[in-house]
Amino acid sequence: MAFIIIVKGGSMSSLLRRLVILFYSVVAKNLPASSMMYFGSPSKKVRQMCAALLFSKCGANINIERGANFNGGIKLKIGDNSGIGMNCQVPEDIQIGKYVMMSPEVIIIGQNHRHDRIDIPMMLQGASEAAPVVIEDDVWIGTRAIILPGRKIGRGAIVGAGAVVTEDVPAYAIVGGNPARVIRMRK
């Protein structure tokens, strides 16, 4: 498969960007998982190509799994040898370091509904300002973990399956539970 890329001023044209997002959403996102025999490797390559065109920084040897949703990824940064797991939901402005493992169905939230006024229904108050999530190098995030807006996951940390991260996670900590608490340190 070949793409013709028109680059203007160092960035992709708006029309091309929309076409790549459409292609990812309809085709690439639904291709087989990278671990599937025969079709996995080509599927992984197609998703890598889409990520390289869409993300603001895309490292080498990344793995975007089947069903991963990153809302266009215009501000998304991902380091070398990192992955976004199957059916994960990540905001478009997340920063993911190198060697990050994200298990299936992780949800990372970039902003919330506003709720500060009681005289206006919450659904009419709009969204809060985006608070980007930062995941440093060598992090493992377990299946169905939820990370709330503005959190930082420190280098070498492990977020247990099903954990709800409401506070920053220190480097080399293993956290779990709801809300996530430090269970122990790796070193």
- Residues known to be catalytic: 113
* CA pair distance 181, 178, nearest whole angstrom: 8
Q: Taken in order 126, 135, 83, 8, is the CA torsion positive or negative?
A: positive
Structure tokens at 151: 């959190």
* CA pair distance 82, 33, nearest whole angstrom: 16
- The CA distances from residue 103 to 69, 100, 142, in Å, are 14, 10, 5
Q: Are 159 and 142 in contact (CB under 8 A)?
A: yes
Q: Taken in order 86, 89, 93, 98, is the CA torsion positive or negative?
A: negative
* CA pair distance 4, 17, nearest whole angstrom: 12
- 73-105: b (≥16 Cβ within 10 Å) or e: bebbbbbebbbbbbbbbbbbbbbbbbbbebbbb
